[in-house]
Amino acid sequence: MPENKLTAELISFIEEWKEKEGNLIMVLHKVQEHFGYIPREIAFEVADRLDVPVAKIYGVITFYHLFRLTKPGKNQIAVCMGTACYLKGGEDLILEFERLLGVGINTVTDDGEFSIEAVRCIGCCGLAPVLTVNGKVYGNVKTKDCKKILAHFKGK
């Protein structure tokens, strides 16, 4: 896939951070910002450029929930599973999206349109249960709202 190449910007970022402590996390953040996830071939290239074992990179990626190894959908639904949202029915929202989209959590729909994930507290517990789609926040969401939310993003 042509898009999975380190851009000149990413390469210079890696060069800038190469000798600094904590460089791996910084580089992985930047990579995910660019691709939406950490493509496998990029992880290998980062390993090479930072002279870090591939295993170490995967140790970090799989430790932090934020990092993704698979390409997310065009529209990313992130349902908050922090304590308040969980108690207010966050899980029901996930189940409803799974039912509507026909895919499980952390999976992309066949048309590449949507993916659902559970995230840690996003910091607006007063609006629980909360979810975001592509960063746009929806508060006090009820299961019956899910369909509408999907329709709003579908095909856009």
Partner 1 sequence: MNKIELEINGIPVSVEAGTTILDAAKQVGVKIPTLCYHSDLEPWAACGICVVKVEGSPKMLRACATAAAPGMKIITHDPEIVKVRRTVLELTLSTHPNDCLQCGRNGNCELQTLSEEFGIRDVPYEERLRDLPVDNSTGSIVLNPEKCISCGRCTQVCQDMQNVWALEFIGRGDDTRMAPAADVSLDESPCIKCGQCSAHCPVGAIYENDQTRLVWNAIEENKKHCVVQIAPAVRVAIGEAFGMEPGELMTGQLYAALRRIGFDAIFDTNFSADLTILEEGSEFVQRFTEGGVLPQITSCCPAWTDYMEKYATDFIPNFSSAKSPQQMLGAMAKTYYAEQSNIEAKDMFVVSVMPCTAKKFEVNRCESMGASGFQDVDLSITTRELARMIKQAGIDFKTLQEEKADSLLGEYSGAGTIFGVTGGVMEAALRSAYFLITKEDLEDVNFMDVRGMEGIKAAEIDIKGTRVRIAVAHQMGHVEALLDTIRAAKENGEETPYHFIEVMACRGGCIGGGGQPHGATDEIRAKRTAGIYTDDEKSVRRCSHHNPMITKIYKDFLGEPMSHKAHELLHTGYQERKVYKK
Which spans of this chain sit near partner 1 (rule: CB under 8 A)?
40, 43-44, 53-59, 62-65
- Closest contact distance (angstroms) between CB of 144 and partner 1 is 33
**φ and ψ of 51, to 5 deg:** 55, 50
- Closest contact distance (angstroms) between CB of 154 and partner 1 is 31
Residue ranges of alpha helices (H) inside the chain are 8-17, 23-35, 40-50, 54-63, 83-87, 90-101, 146-153
Choose between 70 and 134: whose C-beta lies nearer to partner 1: 70
Contact 30, 13 (CB under 8 A): yes
- Closest contact distance (angstroms) between CB of 66 and partner 1 is 12
Residue 78 bridge partners (DSSP): 117, 132
Q: How many CB atoms lie within 10 A of CB 89?
A: 16
- Closest contact distance (angstroms) between CB of 145 and partner 1 is 31
Choose between 69 and 148: whose C-beta lies nearer to partner 1: 69
Q: Which of 150, 61, 67, 74 is nearest to 115 (CA)?
A: 74
Choose between 7 and 62: whose C-beta lies nearer to partner 1: 62
Choose between 3 and 44: whose C-beta lies nearer to partner 1: 44
Residue ranges of alpha helices (H) inside 18-76 are 23-35, 40-50, 54-63
Choose between 8 and 55: whose C-beta lies nearer to partner 1: 55
- Closest contact distance (angstroms) between CB of 43 and partner 1 is 7
